[in-house]
Structure 1
Amino acid sequence: MRRAATVVAAGRDVAVPDRLLLAAVVLAAAAVAEVAVRAGDPGPGLPVALLLALAATVPVAFARAHPAAATAAVTTAVLLTLATFSTPTLAAVAAQLVVVVLLVTRRVRRRRAAASHRAASERAVADTLLEHAARGERARIARELHDVVAHHLSMISVQAETARLATPGLPAEGAHRLRAIGDTAREALTEMRRLLGVLREDADDGGTRRPQPGLPQLIELIDEARDVGGASTRLIVSGQVRPLEPGLELTAFRIVQEALTNARRHAPGAAVDVELRYAAEALHLRVRDSGPGPAAAHGRPAGGHGLLGMRERAAAVGGELWAGPEPASGFVVEAVLPTSPAREPEPSP
């Protein structure tokens, strides 16, 4: 079967030049016959007319392999015929049409192939950039969550050790268990730092590390956005305000931060409202700018790196995020983040 396919394929490859050769022979014969009929009695111009007739038709046989050269040869022969005998043969005109159509088809195919290759390359580059952006954002999320979890593990270790040392009359079994809790917390913290150490070093600029921000720092973020953007930026809070898990507060802060950055970039000078609504089981975020309108808002890339990062962060805490233009004007980012009340650390005895 494979050999038969090869033969068929080879037959197809040979068939096209054969048809052109056949066309060249037919056109050449027709041109010679037409010149002979027109000339009537042989004269001194007959050999020249026959030569030009052949020159205008025979190159068709080579049009597949050398379309530009064949077109040039046929065109030159037709022009010389016009200059010498005023009228070319019908076969020469047909040959001219054949070679020009073949030349145009070849160029169209090449342009399509080049455009397809260029589009594929652009898609590959865009996919690579998006993948790098996703990996970088996931690394930043993991690094920040690492800081939050490390704090809790450290608190567990400290509280277990404090309870073991400060509780009078603690049975030996209880002390042993508290020591085991502290050791387990320290081992988990060590392993986590070992696994995520590269992520911490990647963002370490040599300066002093600060605690990860949360919702209380939103006021400073709003003030900074108002000062930098020179536009009205409001923080609207509704519902029963309560402390949430540090990882979730960090996620909410970063989403608002990125949304404000996007608003300054794509709708400079537009007013921005940041809304936080505390519900029983979720924290609802909404960042909306009063940009120029849906047409301009649609210019924002729906799958840009900033939106990708916000979606990654929302998904990391089990939430969802939507972003898009408003019906009348502006652009909105909305997120729903499932919540559970943060537990206050027990005071040390």
Structure 2
Amino acid sequence: MAYAVGLALLACVEVLARAGSLRENLALALLLGVCTTLPLAFVFGPERALPVRGGAAVAVTAAGALALSPFRALTLAGVASQLACVYGLGRAGAPRLSGVLVLPYVVLALVSQDDTTTRVMAVLVATLASAAAATGITHHVRGALLAHSATERAFADTLLAHAARGERARIARELHDVVAHHISMIAVQAETARLTTPGLPPDGATRLLAIGDTARGALTEMRRLLGVLREDAEVGVTRRPQPGLHQLMELIDESRDAAGSRTRLIVSGPVTTLDPGIEVTAYRIVQEALTNARRHAPGAAVDVELRYAEDDLEIRVRDNGPGPGNGAETGPGAAERAGPGAVVPSTGHGLLGMRERATTVGGSLRTGAAAGGGFLVEARLPVRAEALA
């Protein structure tokens, strides 16, 4: 705004300095001097809308053309304002309007054959205005290209970051689904060999125990590594704490609603808060057992029993479905040997996963036919620190 007012004052001073030649049209020349400069205040500024800028530039051009011919009152301040208008429109992204505003001066240069002063002035303004318009358009195109390049770089960086997160997530899945599974098997097999091998020397038992402990330590470190890998892979994912036994009632309710059958929770012994690892393991075992019951014994009633003891936590999940066909027999041909109507436990990773979870925390798990019918999942998890050592 200040620069427009300054140009208007300069235009008025210039008109008054030429008052001798403009004495008959002095008031009109002053008015045209103001009209060729003051609207410039509405051409610049990021808050100005393009129609407002265009209207102000058209007003400056119309006043300038009238001041040049027929009144010969165009001032240098008015010429500067005209150049600033076409430059501003070109830089604001209105190249056509910026070029159109040069045309009145081109027309004046062509029709003013008998007025050399007006013709020279019109040619000069048209030439300078064309150069100013071209400069403004060039700056606009350059700025648009720079902005486009910055957008492309930001998009490329986003794609790269997304690809990196996806790769971290893939590595985490591989570690969790493949490597962790095999390490768990090492721990399970080492513990099984130590407990079931007859005549095992004490030194061999010690070595097998060390193998199991090392495998469990490796699993702990791998969980920490998985947490680091998933930090970036889970951007935007709402993190929730690991479930525990205090959320078991919600799991029972969900299972009851999903299966449409009776599901009970029976708790005995003094209820205490256990180690978070034990609680997560217990929760996951119950969750998997309920899932297996819904899959293999749909509609059967399920009892979930927790027995808190001084040294361990006993978990029993029993359904009153058909149960396994022949004890806990599984494998190829088990369904045929089980007989009609019998349900054979899954040979997938559900039971193995529960056993691995229990073994990882130093516990044990047994599955098979329940007394009186149905299928039973029974786990014992240590709850004292020395039991976990």
> What TM bracket, shorter-length normalisation?
0.3 to 0.5
Higher relative contact order (CA 8 A, sep 6+): 1
Q: Give the greater-gyration-radius structure (CA).
A: 2
TM-score by length of 2: 0.37
